[in-house]
């Protein structure tokens, strides 16, 4: 009995030391964790068989796109349903730029800039709308982009789609790029969430009327958030083009932005790892089960409904609750 008690307290002491060391690392701890996660994801991407690797690649590319969405929607609380369009601009923009003779590394910032510009225009047009009106405006904007991709045949070849030049030496390099970009996207979100921009977006999320009155330039803050979301969405789009080798408008249809919003909500909006968890459930599970895309969407919808009812904060909130239960009980607060 005595033995067991002392063993337990030694364990507690060691645990306390570890947590004190981790606390001493401060923000570096989060970035370290994200970097470690990135290495694990890269190993999984590189070492598993082709099928699992392709499912994981799809998850990670969606993680990048939804991490971008997490800035305007997760921090700012604005239901941006247009992320699929920025994703499409990234894919088409980089593919077209490469057709015009640009290397991949140059095509990426160009596609991101194009999406950012589109985000700015959409943001200015809808900057005075909130809530469901903003959501409708975003859905409408996504529809316009989908229509352009379908009908500007001289540039996009319409429904036939485009063949994308491969910009890497081999698939291993592309896997490294996907894992590294996903890691950077998660890390960038972590950085933004604790920055002044992140605080300002959170103020807008909670009380936009108050935000103006404590000095937050709300319109400029929202535009900045939307532009960053757009650029990161486009970055994800350039990678899906590289991975698939071909792109067609149906990959970027108007409802894709809606599904991205669902993925973010399922994972945990405003949380660093929310996009990854959401993408696992919304992209990974249907792909692993090899479901036809219509059935996959249906399953995603069911997951969304279930999570909305049972875990309003997404799966991240369930993990929080679990960690809270596992943590050794401290003294009274």
Partner 1 sequence: MSGFLEVEGASKAFGGIHAVEDIDFAVPEGEICGVIGPNGSGETTLLGLLSGTYRLDRGAIHLKGRRIDGLSAHRTVQEGVARTFQTSRLLFRSPLAANLAAAAAARPIASGDPATEPAELLALVGLAGRGGTVCSSLSNSEQRLAMVAVALATRPHLMLLDEPAVGMSPGEAAALAHVIRRIRDERGATIIIVEHNMHFLMGLAERIMAMNAGRKLAEGTPAEIRRDPGVIAAYLGA
Give least dist CB 24 to partner 1, A. Answer: 16
Please, which residue, 193 or 238, has the CB nearer to partner 1?
193
224 binds partner 1 (CB under 8 A): no
Residues between 119 and 158 that touch partner 1 (CB under 8 A): none
CB of 187: closest distance to partner 1 in angstroms?
A: 20
**Distances in whole angstroms, Cα of residue 149 to Cα of each of 113, 162, 168, 255, 290:** 18, 11, 25, 14, 27
- Smallest gap from Cβ 27 to partner 1, in A, equals 14
Contact (CB, 8 A) for 295 and 246? no
For partner 1, the closer of residues 214 and 310 by Cβ is 214
Give every CB contact of residue 312 below 8 A, 6+ residues apart in sequence: none
- Smallest gap from Cβ 4 to partner 1, in A, equals 35
153-179 residues labelled b (16+ CB within 10 A) or e (exposed)? eeebeeeebbebbbbeeebeebbebbb
- Per-residue binding string, partner 1, 172-211, x by CB under 8 A, is ------------------------x--xx-xx--xx-xxx
In terms of CB distance, is 166 or 199 closer to partner 1? 199
Residue with tokens 């709300």: 218
Least Å distance, CB 88 to partner 1, is 34
- Give the integer Cα–Cα distance in Å for 87 and 145: 11
Specify the residue, 30 or 212, whose C-beta has the smaller distance to partner 1. 212
What is the per-residue binding string for partner 1 in 302-321, x denoting contact by CB under 8 A? --------------------
Q: Contact between 218 and partner 1 (CB under 8 A)?
A: yes
Min dist. Cβ of residue 267 to partner 1 (A): 20
Task: Number of residues interacting with partner 1: please give it, by CB under 8 A.
Answer: 17
Taking CB under 8 A as the criterion, the residue among 101, 215, 294, 331 binding partner 1 is: 215
CB hemisphere CA count around 64 (13 angstroms) = 27
User: What is the contact mask toward partner 1 in residues 20 to 49, using x (rule: CB under 8 A)?
Assistant: ------------------------------
Among 217, 245, 301, 306, binds partner 1 (CB under 8 A): 217
Of the two residues 142 and 198, which places its CB atom closer to partner 1 in the complex?
Answer: 198
| Positions that interact with partner 1 (CB under 8 A) | 196, 199-200, 202-203, 206-207, 209-218
């Amino acid at each position: 009995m005595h033995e067991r008690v002392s063993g337990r307290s030694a364990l507690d002491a060691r645990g306390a030391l570890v947590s004190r060391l981790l606390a001493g690392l401060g923000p570096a701890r989060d970035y370290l964790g994200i970097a470690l996660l990135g290495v694990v994801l890269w190993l999984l991407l590189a070492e598993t068989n082709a099928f699992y690797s392709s499912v994981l690649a799809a998850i990670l590319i969606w993680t990048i796109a939804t991490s971008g969405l997490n800035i305007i929607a997760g921090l700012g609380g604005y239901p941006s349903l247009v992320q699929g369009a920025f994703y499409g601009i990234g894919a088409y923009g980089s593919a077209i730029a490469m057709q015009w003779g640009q290397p991949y590394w140059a095509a990426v910032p160009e596609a991101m800039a194009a999406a950012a510009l589109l985000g700015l225009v959409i943001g200015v047009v809808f900057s005075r709308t909130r809530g469901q009106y903003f959501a409708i405006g975003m859905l409408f904007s996504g529809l316009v982009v989908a229509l352009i991709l379908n009908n500007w045949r001289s540039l996009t070849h319409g429904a036939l789609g485009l063949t994308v030049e491969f910009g890497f030496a081999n698939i291993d390099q592309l896997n490294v790029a996907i894992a590294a970009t996903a890691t950077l996207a998660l890390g960038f979100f972590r950085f933004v969430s604790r920055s002044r921009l992140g605080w300002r977006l959170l103020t807008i999320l909670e009380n936009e009327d108050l935000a103006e009155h404590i000095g937050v330039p709300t319109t400029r803050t929202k535009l900045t958030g939307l532009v960053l979301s757009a650029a990161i969405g486009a970055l994800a789009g350039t990678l899906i083009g590289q991975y698939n080798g071909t792109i067609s408008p149906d990959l970027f249809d108007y409802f894709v932005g809606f599904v991205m919003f669902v993925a973010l909500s399922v994972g945990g909006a405003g949380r660093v790892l929310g996009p990854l968890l959401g993408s696992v459930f919304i992209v990974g599970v249907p792909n692993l089960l090899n479901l036809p895309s219509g059935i996959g969407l249906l399953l995603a919808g069911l997951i969304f409904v279930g999570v909305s009812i049972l875990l309003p904060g997404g799966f991240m909130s369930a993990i929080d609750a679990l960690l809270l239960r596992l943590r050794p009980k401290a003294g009274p607060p």
